[in-house]
Amino acid sequence: MALDDPHILKNPQTKLLIGGAWVDGVGGTTIAVENPYDGSKIADIAEATAADVDRAVEAAEAAFPAWRALAAHERGRLLLKLADRIEEEAAELARLEAIDTGHPIRDCLNLDVPRTALCFRYFGGMADKLEGSVIPVDAGFLNYVEREPIGVVGAIVPWNFPLMFTSWKMGPALAAGNTVVIKPSEITPLSTLRIGELMMEVGIPGGVVNIVTGYGHTAGQRIAEHPRIGKVAFTGSTATGRRIVEASASNLKKIQLELGGKGPNIIFEDADIPAAVAGSAFAIFHNQGQACIAGSRLIVHETIADDVLQRFTELARSIRIGDPLDPETEMGPLTSRLHQSRVLSYVDVAKEEGGQILTGGKPPEGAAYAGGCFVEPTVVRAKPGDRVAREEVFGPFVTALTFRTDEEALAIANGTDYGLGSGLWTQNLTRAHRFARALHAGMVWINTYKRVHPGSPFGGVGMSGYGREMGFEAMREYTQPKSVWVNVDAQIPPFYRR
């Protein structure tokens, strides 16, 4: 590559952030970070081990008393300054995220970076808004409940939206007065490290945020089991979530899990078909389908199925695949070679089960795609019991299913162990509200899909995890209630009066 190649990052941060200093890992080893567009190496980052996590926890513990004691509005002011800096660095952050993840830069600029700034700004404003409560109890007594920060929080961020999920974890944790040890994915750590630099620039004290870049089975495992971490917030696979719960038993720490999904996306016969087709394409193909809330099961009424699927497959074939730094690109590469192989393996599974590949199912052809982790938008017609209709593929891979009645649609939609996002398209408001209540999911979108906002709780049920990101719910997740009783009238317990 030429030195002026836009895919080359100049001096990205590659060290660990511990106690306000950028340091090498104890073992001195590194991890290669690769560009999913062409397979080139972006950087070598420091590999954090269990010993580095221990150092980070010590730094977070040391910083906690002063950070907790800082006036809530001052914590908020620092988060607001951080939001401003993120907006000022929007172009750089978007390019960094696009190179590291393969996410199209137009989405990074229009969605990921603005949502990251908005999240920090929301929780900056929330810092001094979280209130306690007074409980009506027996006469002569005052009982009030205040919410206290947990202490040191461990956060584990996935590789699909690293920039955005960093803000989702750190925003409420810091606003509530906690200190943080955060581990980004070793595949996509660079935007989290850049946020660490910006945090130091705006004056967030050393040790309040500590960033450890390491593997899940070492650094992540140590965060999950560490006896002095009071909470772990994790976004990732259901299998890893189970292991985190098991590891957390050492000190019964609080756990928040945002796990996998197999989002049902129902199109009824009275839907606005052009809107439903376009919205459903965004639901599955945005970020190459690498989203836990992706609408990966397209459930269509049989009377309109042929029309919808023809329109949908034509749209899928028209999606512009290419260089994530090209503003015209609508879908970039998957984030790693290993994940590309996993997604393509489900094409074989679909064929074995008798599924019909309507489009896609392979890497795009041509020299421009040869070095990248690309997969064409894939549409598979299948049956509700097939593996591809039950298991999370986590790629640009949608399973098309049909139904006859509302009852059948609901049974198909609720027919997996997951319960994260779900959507439906209909002009019938009565049906829409009835389904919103009956769907086994933490979130329901009606005549839209994948809408998120810092004020709206985000999370799932069933094997999609528990706890909530965003909004007042998130502030509660990062605090614990303390009940205080006051004997206002100085009453003496009747059994002990003399």
Cβ(224)–Cβ(154) below 8 Å: yes
The percentage of residues in the chain with a pLDDT greater than 90, rounded to a whole number, is 96
Q: What's the rounded Cα separation, in Å, for the pair 182 and 232?
A: 10
Q: What is the pLDDT of residue 497?
A: 64
Q: Are strands 21-23 and 16-18 parallel, antiparallel or unpaired?
A: antiparallel
Q: Band of the pLDDT at 330, cuts 50, 70, 90?
A: very high
Please provide the average confidence, as pLDDT, over all residues in the chain. Answer: 96
Q: Which helix (H) or strand (E) holds 423?
A: strand 421-425
- Whether the pLDDT of residue 3 is over 80: the answer is no
Tell me the pLDDT tens digit for each residue of 58-107. Answer: 999 999 999 999 999 999 999 999 999 999 999 999 999 999 999 999 99
Measured in whole angstroms, the distance separating CA 141 from the mean position of its chain's CA atoms is 44
Q: Band of the pLDDT at 496, cuts 50, 70, 90?
A: low
209 HSE (CA, 13 A, CB side): 30
Every domain of the chain and the residues it spans: 16-259+460-483, 264-446
Q: Which helix (H) or strand (E) holds 274?
A: helix 273-285
Secondary structure letter of residue 469 according to DSSP: B
Q: What is the pLDDT of residue 495?
A: 73
Apex 334 CA angle, 331 and 337, nearest 5: 150
Tell me the pLDDT tens digit for each residue of 236-260. Answer: 999 999 999 999 998 999 999 999 9
Whether 201 is a known active-site residue: answer no
Predicted TM-score (pTM) of the model is: 0.96
Residue labelled with tokens 């009238």? 489
Sign of the Cα pseudo-torsion (470, 471, 476, 479, in order): positive
Mean local confidence (pLDDT), 402-431: 98
Q: Are strands 356-359 and 141-149 parallel, antiparallel or unpaired?
A: unpaired
- Whether the pLDDT of residue 1 is over 80: the answer is no
CA distances from 34 to 15, 108, 344 (A): 16, 18, 20
Neighbours of 96 (CB within 10 A): 24
- Whether the pLDDT of residue 2 is over 90: the answer is no
The first and second tokens of residue 367, run together, are 């020299």
Q: What is the pLDDT of residue 6?
A: 87
Give which of 479, 280, 288, 253 is closest to 374, Cα–Cα: 288
Give which of 66, 213, 28, 135 is closest to 486, Cα–Cα: 135
The first and second tokens of residue 407, run together, are 């009852």
Q: What's the rounded Cα separation, in Å, for the pair 233 and 252?
A: 14
Cβ(261)–Cβ(464) below 8 Å: yes
Whether 258 is a known active-site residue: answer yes
Q: Which helix (H) or strand (E) holds 148?
A: strand 141-149
The percentage of residues in the chain with a pLDDT greater than 70, rounded to a whole number, is 99
Give which of 448, 403, 398, 383 is closest to 304, Cα–Cα: 403
CATH H-level superfamily of 16-259+460-483: Aldehyde Dehydrogenase; Chain A, domain 1 (3.40.605.10)
CATH 3.40.50.720 applies to domain 264-446: no
Catalytic residue among 97, 119, 186, 292: 292
Phi, psi of 152 (to 5 degrees): -90, 125
Cβ(163)–Cβ(98) below 8 Å: no
Give which of 270, 293, 261, 267 is closest to 280, Cα–Cα: 267
Mean local confidence (pLDDT), 284-293: 97
Q: Which residues contact 132 (CB under 8 A, 6 or more apart)?
A: 144, 145, 146, 147
Catalytic residue among 186, 258, 376, 469: 258
- Enumerate helices (H) and strands (E) in the chain, giving the number of each: 15, 20
